[in-house]
Amino acid sequence: RVDQMERRQTIRGRGRPKKTIREVIKKDLEINGLDRSMVLGGMRGMTALVWLGSAVDPDEGIRFRGMSIPECQKKLPGAFPGGEPLPEAVLWLLLTGKIPSKAQVDSLSKELRSRATIPDYAYKAIDALPVSAHPMTQFTTGVMALQVQSEFQKAYEGGIAKARYWEPTYEDTMNLIARLPAIAAYIYRRKYKDGKIIPLDDSLDYGANYAHMLGFDDPEMLEFMRLYISIHSDHEGGNVSSHTAHLVASPLSDPYLAFAAALNGLAGPLHGLANQEVLRWIRSIVAEFGTPNISTEQLADYINKTLSRGQVVPGYGHGVLRQTDPRYTCQREFALKHLPNDPYFQLVSKIKEVVPPILTKLGKVKNPWPNVDAHSGVLLNYYGLTEENYYTVLFGVSRSFGVGPQLIWDRALGMPLERPKSVTLEKLEQLVAKS
Ligand code: FCX
């Protein structure tokens, strides 16, 4: 116990309250080629990855193979004329860089359905966990169970040549993407409903089928799921989940192993879990005042209270973006069209007015604007998917559409093992002292 206290004390002494190296480095020092934003700033602003599918502009936001979200909405085939882009169309675009025809998208939908068989042991692996386990823990477990069928692992053991690595990677990726909705829906049904599996409907596309297997058949919800999966698919390569997948795949771990690791990163509250946190936070506001119809002053007080507790305002801020996230904007447009009078949507709109000036006033927040997670929860809640702890699973299914194609390209391009250099704190302190 004494030893334990000593260990803790050593860390505490080095921690944030003290004037440590972190504060010294914050003075924008550049020492011997070591940029503080790389070494101590979570590698912000460091370009270190090739990512084919998408790129994020700080002001304009995401572009999928050069196309903005409104362009995708205009040019990619939907389930009906003028409908939201089908996720399969986004997958085709991210993988090939080309805009598919409706017939090509339909054939991809069919192919994914044909690959969607789930081995019984994957359900059993999930069943081994208590129902109380967080849905993301159950999800990663299900993905790890699917890994048993990895084509890449089999091919590697069989001595496949380097030039052909991408082929079994392609098979694994397509199988994984195809199987995720059934695994994800099983977790939802098991944790929140009667546990009965709703089988895949051969007449439905990917997004609609996922909603259907969860137990939702309202055409508006099916359409929202198509939009949801499309906009959550990819966000260039440096975000935690995408980068994790790329990193873990770099020593030739197969797509299942890489994607399970990515999910574990997505499950962090500063990344994909933020969508869960947003709805939880909105509910706490409603609980505090007994109604979502609150005044601007009441809302500002609540936001300040959140900050004074040392917590972040979930759904606001971003590592790269410096304006409102276009993924927020397109969800807002969807809500304005379909649920303009929903009191939770109206509260979200009010939050968007009140939060940015408060965060700006703090003087340290680089982006006070809403991100994708600030909006998705109220839409899902409106359509009856009220269990916010499940929301990151939806994000996870969607993220496979961005991560998967890149893993195929990583192998096709022969991308090397990732191995950046680190530096000890002592060495860093010596460099600072000398500078
Ligand atoms: N509320 C309160 N404080 C915030 C904040 C917020 N929404 N956003 C940033 N800050 C704080 C940071 O915590 C940091 O404080 P510190 O210096 O005391 O540690 C300071 O402002 C500077 O951070 P900044 O450089 O602006 O932002 P980062 O790149 O470090 O972090 C995230 C970006 C997204 C992690 C941060 O804005 C945040 O915590 N937001 C809330 C959680 C969230 O919505 N995450 C989802 C992001 C995204 F869309 C996704 O991945 O899904």
What's the complex ipTM?
0.99
pLDDT at 330 over 60: yes
pLDDT at 239 over 90: yes
Residue 186 has, within 13 A of its CA and on its CB side, a CA count of: 23
Q: How far is the CA of 261 from the centre of ligand 1 (A)?
A: 22
What is the torsion angle, in degrees rounded to the nearest 10, for the CA atoms of residue 240, residue 245, residue 251 and residue 256?
150
Q: Kindly report, residue by residue over 97-114, the tens digit of the pLDDT.
A: 999 999 999 999 999 999
Ligand 1: which residue has its CA nearest to atom 28?
Answer: 319
Ligand 1: which residue has its CA nearest to atom 2?
Answer: 312
Residues that are catalytic: 271, 318, 373
Q: Kindly report, residue by residue over 114-158, the tens digit of the pLDDT.
A: 999 999 999 999 999 999 999 999 999 999 999 999 999 999 999
What span, in angstroms and rounded, lies between the C-alpha atoms of 164 and 4? 51
Q: What is the pTM of this model?
A: 0.95
Q: How far is the CA of 317 from the centre of ligand 1 (A)?
A: 5
Q: How far is the CA of 73 from the centre of ligand 1 (A)?
A: 29
What is the torsion angle, in degrees rounded to the nearest 10, for the CA atoms of residue 225, residue 227, residue 232 and residue 233?
100
Indicate the CATH number of 47-424 among 1.10.580.10, 3.40.50.720, 1.10.3720.10, 3.40.50.300: 1.10.580.10
Q: How far is the CA of 360 from the centre of ligand 1 (A)?
A: 12
Instruction: Choose one of 364, 376, 393 to mutate for the ligand 1 pocket test, by most ligand atoms within 8 angstroms of C-beta.
Output: 364
Residue 368 has, within 13 A of its CA and on its CB side, a CA count of: 16
Q: Kindly report, residue by residue over 45-57, the tens digit of the pLDDT.
A: 889 999 999 999 9
Q: How far is the CA of 119 from the centre of ligand 1 (A)?
A: 40
Q: What is the pLDDT of residue 17?
A: 41
Residue 275 has, within 13 A of its CA and on its CB side, a CA count of: 29
Q: How confident is the model at residue 313 (pLDDT cuts 50, 70, 90)?
A: very high
Ligand 1: which residue has its CA nearest to atom 45?
Answer: 270
Q: Which residues line ligand 1 (CB under 6 A)?
A: 239, 270-272, 274, 312-319, 359, 364-367, 371-373
Ligand 1: which residue has its CA nearest to atom 19?
Answer: 364
- For the CA of 316, the closest atom of ligand 1 is 7
Ligand 1: which residue has its CA nearest to atom 44?
Answer: 315
Domain ranges of the chain: 2-46, 47-424
pLDDT at 28 over 60: no
127-141: burial string, b at 16+ Cβ within 10 Å, e else: eebeeeebbbbbbbb
Contact yes or no for 322/367 (Cβ under 8 A)? yes
Q: Which helix (H) or strand (E) holds 381?
A: helix 373-382
